[in-house]
Amino acid sequence: MKINRTQQPLLHLVDKVQLLSPQRKWMKNGVPLSIINTGDQDVLHLEIIISAGRYQQDYPLQAMFTNRMLREGTAQLASKEIAEKLDFYGSWVELSTSGEHSFISLSSLSKYFEQTVQLLAQMLFEPTFPAAELTDVLLRNKEQFLVNQSKVDYLSIRAFNTLVFGKEHPLGRTIHLADYDHLKSEQLVDFYQRYYSSANCFIYLTGKVTDESIAIIQNYFGDKTWGTEQKREEPHTHKMPELHPSQHFIYHPNALQSSLRLGGQLMEINNPDSYAMNVLITILGGYFGSRLMKNIREDKGYTYDISAALPYYSGQGILIISTQAAPDYMDAILEEIYKEIELLQSTLVTEEELDRVRNYMYGNLCRNYEGPIDLADYWIYVETNHIKDNHFEKSLRAIKNTSAKDIQRLACTYLKKESMIKVVVGEKNERV
| Per-residue pLDDT reduced to its tens digit, 360-399 | 998 887 777 778 888 899 899 988 888 877 888 888 889 9
Residues 110 and 216 in one domain: yes
Is 239's pLDDT higher than 70? no
**Counted domains in the chain:** 2
pLDDT tens track for 244-292:
667 888 888 888 899 999 999 998 888 999 999 999 999 999 999 999 9
- Predicted pLDDT at 318: 93
Of 388 and 355, more confident: 355
| pTM value > 0.85 | yes
Is 430's pLDDT higher than 80? no
Mean pLDDT of 304-324: 92
Residues 338 and 265 in one domain: yes
The verdict on residue 317 lying in a domain is yes
Mean pLDDT of 98-106: 94
Q: Which of 264-268, 346-350, 428-432 has the highest mean pLDDT?
A: 346-350
The verdict on residue 10 lying in a domain is no
Residues 143 and 191 in one domain: yes
Write down which residue in 222, 257, 288 finishes a domain: 222
pLDDT tens track for 168-184:
888 888 999 999 999 99
The verdict on residue 300 lying in a domain is yes
Is 19's pLDDT higher than 70? yes
- Predicted pLDDT at 106: 97
The verdict on residue 251 lying in a domain is yes
- Predicted pLDDT at 432: 45
For the chain, the average pLDDT equals 90
For residue 85, what is the domain's CATH number? 3.30.830.10
Residues 52 and 114 in one domain: yes
Q: Between the CA of residue 320 and those of 148, 284, 312, 410, what are the distances in Å? A: 20, 11, 11, 16
Residues 271 and 215 in one domain: no
The verdict on residue 239 lying in a domain is no
Domain that holds residue 399: 246-426
Residues 295 and 384 in one domain: yes
Residues 270 and 201 in one domain: no
Residues 67 and 196 in one domain: yes
Is 196's pLDDT higher than 60? yes
The verdict on residue 96 lying in a domain is yes
Residues 374 and 412 in one domain: yes
Residues 297 and 401 in one domain: yes
The verdict on residue 6 lying in a domain is no
Is 237's pLDDT higher than 70? no
Residues 356 and 401 in one domain: yes
The verdict on residue 274 lying in a domain is yes
Is 232's pLDDT higher than 80? no
Is 1's pLDDT higher than 60? no
